[in-house]
Every structure is written in structure tokens, then in C-alpha cells.
A and B are shown apart, each in its own frame.
Chain A
């Protein structure tokens, strides 16, 4: 399943990345409530490594801030991700990495829905159903080998030593 022998997408397009989020005075002020927003969620997932390339999900445009919706009052986070090719067999693994990262990072009250951007993948329905099934996700993250693969994706490529 690993792409080490034969890459599925040999020559992916690399996109420019967003800069660091400027820290505002209000954010540093502890007396001001600072609800979680789309940019904050984007910052959590942008550096997840692509399972196939030594690149981040942001560099491959797999995740984009515009495709993240956050409703702090209702406790909802919805992330759409766009696989680089419509037959990408890594789509479920990428989605799982995003989900695990957000579950580990966000407060427990948030419901996290991770879905494929509509129209961007051949098995969109099947992948979305798997990612929405919390029992399958729980069983997957209890599986040591699979968790190791997910954890590898969660180490940003720069920290892992780049290419």
C-alpha cells in the first residue's frame, strides 16, 4: 500500500503556503474570549505530511482554509480535504490523519467531521462513510500498526528531516 515502489501521483503540483498567523493584542489578552476559528484549525492540519510525498497537505492543496468551517457555539468543526488525484488510495489515511490530529488537539466538546471535497474523489461516498464511522475510527486508532502510519503523517516533513 505504501507508495515507496511506485508513486500514484508522480509529479504533484506544489502550491505556495500561507504565512504565519499574526498574533494580535486581543489574543494575548487573557480577559478576551478567543473562540477557535477556521485559521486556527487550518494551522493544526496544514503541516500534516502527505503519506506519499515529503510535502505537507497545505503544499499539495489537500487542505485549504476556505474549506474549513468552524461553529464554536455549536461545537462543530467541518474540514473538507481534496485528494491530489481522484483515485488516490491514500484518501482514507489522509482523512484519518486529519481527524486524529484534530481529536487530539481540539477541546473534547467539538464534533469533528472530515469529508472529501465534493467531486474530487472516485470513492467519495465510501471514504466519507468510513471517516464518519467513529467505531471504525476507534478500532483503527487502536491498531498499533495503522496508528504508527498515522503518527508518521502527523510529524511535519520538516521535523522528520525533509526529503
Chain B
């Protein structure tokens, strides 16, 4: 049984075979005729069939919180692709098609740009991530390299990781800082092991070729050495160290188009995935080890592709970045979990958060409700979600 929240926050249960048959019929119909992926089977099913029938007794969307603007940070001269916080929550990194990484920090006068890392990449910088110690910053670029920058050397570019054949799309550090994962349009995920953290030597520990198309994002579990990746083949894939080798585990299928981002919850038990199909899915390991299933579908909220999703470890709130220029915040409904199935409701949104597509969202790891976003309007913005 899947439990889903519809547009109005109503809870829908597929328990009835009749509706299940309508759903299967629509799925076949859509496969045969539907070329517009924004209007996929699920949306069609919920909009036309399920939501009017199940609307009785549904709970309304409660916009119980506010997303207040804190500041808007300008400086990048082209679209900003991603933002990342350092673990202390004092430095925010942003990367851009202007080939630079900017580091922002708060001084007495508010947030401002403290450092520009301009000499590491020849093309767009697509992704950034701080190591768990906060000392190292990794960046991923369309120039097919990843770079590692060292805070202790005044943010000099301390290492360049070469190996991918084409654009590197994302970087992520494991919770211990021992591994750095990179992924690329060449369909591969590389795991780099930091073998000497004084000299900053990296060795390739594994090349994982599970995806059949570009890999858009990599994300490590916050509690164990377990990696998730997602991409243009519409799937999320999981990897773990079986003691001997890195092996590919579960394949999470369900999205009907590119999966742009994956995010773990604070406990490392669930994964949220954001897709070009305009939905967010929540996955849980229903049968360890490695039996995952989709336990919630956030459908009908986003008008266009969802480019990023972030799960706040402090508040449990889920934020999304969308191609419809909006930033949205979802909260898990308390006590909704019979059979462990969660339900999420939209609690805050800013329709014109950015002047163009929003590409990234990231929660502060130290300050409750502080959210950073980045967009095609060249801006980085900070928001504060009010407490309920």
C-alpha cells in the first residue's frame, strides 16, 4: 500500500482493486501516447481519478510556517548551481557557471563574500561539498576534474582529481572524511580514498558503473559508509562496502524522468529523491539489508522539474528547489505512520524565491531553520523558516 498526499494535502490509500485497475490502464495509455513527461501517469491518476474520489475527509495544506528572507547574496556573474555549508555552519560555499566558487560568511555587517576560488576550473563549477572536518572543500566541474581546496593553505587548490572522461556533476564526502565520491556524464561514480591527509593524496578506491546514463548527484549516508547516486536513467542506486569491495545494492525505480538529487534523512534511514518528473519520492529500507521501497510520493506541488532536495537533520523538514522559481518546505505529518508509511505536507513556500529556476537548497547544519538557496538568477539567498 502506498500512502500519498495529494495537492490539497489529502491522504490517499490505494487499497481498492478497482482504482488499481484504472491506474494500470492509465499507465499503459500514457506509455503509449504521452510524450510530455511533466504530465506523467501518477499526476494523471491523482488529478483525474483518485483525488476527487478520495477528497472527502482529506486534511488541507497547512501553511503553518513562514519562509522569511534573510539576505540575497550577489557576486556570481552566471547561474549558481549549488550551495553547501561547512559543518560549523559559519561558511557557505556556492559554485557557478562563471567558473568560480565563492565562500560567504557572516560578519558584523551581515553575510558577505569572503573568498573567491577562481583558479581551479576551466569550465562551469557544478558542485561543491565541505569535508566533515570543515578543512577541505571539494568542487566538481564540467572540465571533467574535481578539485580539493585546503582551508589551512588559505583555500589554495591543493589537489586536482583527474579520471572522469566528461563533465563531473557532483562531489560528496563520506561521514568520516575518508572517501570522496564524484560522478559524471561518463555514467560512472568514482570513490577516491584520502590516503594522506597532510599531503592530501587521493587514490581511486573504486569505479562504480551501475548507471546507464549521466550520474547527476552522489550523497553519503550521515551514519555509515553507504552511498546513493541518481541520474538521467531515472533511477537512484545504492552502494556499500562489503568488507572486500564496493558493491552495488538496491536500485530505486519509480521516477518517470531524470532524478536530479538525492538526500538522506538525519538518521540515514530514508532517502528523498527529486526528479524532472516534478515529484519528490521518499524511500525507506523496508527490509534490511538493501530492500528499499517508495513509502511516499509528493506529487502535484511542483510545476516544473525539481532540481534539489535537502533534508534538515535538526528539524526533519524537507526543502525543495524547483524550475518554477519556487522554494518549498515540507513537514512530515505527525502520527501518520500506520505500517511505517510517512505522509508529508507542504508547510511553507515562496513562489518567486528566485527570478529564474532554483537549482539548489541546503539547510544550515547548526542553526535550526536556516536555509540557503541558489538560482539561475546568479543569486544565493538565505531564508529562515519560522517555528510552528
Interface set, chain B 119-141, CB cutoff 8 A to A? 123-124, 126
- Whether the Cβ atoms of A108 and B355 lie closer than 8 Å is yes
- Whether the Cβ atoms of B323 and A111 lie closer than 8 Å is yes
- A26 vs B123: C-alpha distance when bound (angstroms): 45
- Contact partner of B356 among A109, A124, A135, CB < 8 A? A109
Interface set, chain A 96-145, CB cutoff 8 A to B? 108-109, 111, 115, 118, 124-125, 128-129, 132-136, 138-139, 142
- Contact partner of B97 among A118, A132, A138, CB < 8 A? A138
- Contact partner of B124 among A108, A109, A118, A138, CB < 8 A? A138
Q: Which chain B residues border A136 with CB–CB below 8 Å?
A: 185, 214
Query: How many residues of A are in contact with the other chain, CB < 8 A?
Result: 17
Q: Which chain B residues border A135 with CB–CB below 8 Å?
A: 126, 169, 216
- Contact partner of B276 among A118, A124, A132, A142, CB < 8 A? A132
Q: Which chain A residues border B123 with CB–CB below 8 Å?
A: 142
CB distance from A134 to the nearest CB of B (A): 7
**Interface residue tally on B, bucketed by range:** 20 to 34
B226 close to chain A: CB less than 8 A: no
B219 close to chain A: CB less than 8 A: no
Q: Which chain B residues border A142 with CB–CB below 8 Å?
A: 97, 123-124, 142
Q: Which chain A residues border B305 with CB–CB below 8 Å?
A: 132
Determine the main DSSP class of A at the interface with B: helix
Q: Which chain A residues border B232 with CB–CB below 8 Å?
A: 129, 133
- A78 vs B315: C-alpha distance when bound (angstroms): 39
- A139 vs B97: C-alpha distance when bound (angstroms): 10
B304 close to chain A: CB less than 8 A: yes
- Whether the Cβ atoms of A133 and B124 lie closer than 8 Å is no
- A118 vs B39: C-alpha distance when bound (angstroms): 14
- A4 vs B257: C-alpha distance when bound (angstroms): 35
CB distance from B337 to the nearest CB of A (A): 35
- A77 vs B377: C-alpha distance when bound (angstroms): 18
CB distance from B257 to the nearest CB of A (A): 7
B174 close to chain A: CB less than 8 A: no
- Contact partner of A134 among B257, B355, B357, CB < 8 A? B357
B35 close to chain A: CB less than 8 A: yes
Q: B102-134: contact bitstring with A at CB < 8 Å (1 yes, 0 no)?
A: 000000000000000000000110100000000
- A138 vs B185: C-alpha distance when bound (angstroms): 13
CB distance from A120 to the nearest CB of B (A): 11
11 A-B residue pairings within 8 Å (CB atoms): A109-B356, A129-B37, A129-B232, A133-B276, A135-B126, A138-B79, A138-B97, A139-B142, A139-B167, A142-B97, A142-B123
> What is A's interface to B at a CB cutoff of 8 Å?
108-109, 111, 115, 118, 124-125, 128-129, 132-136, 138-139, 142
6 A-B pairs with the lowest CB-CB distances in the bound complex, closest first: A118-B35, A139-B167, A139-B142, A142-B123, A108-B356, A142-B142
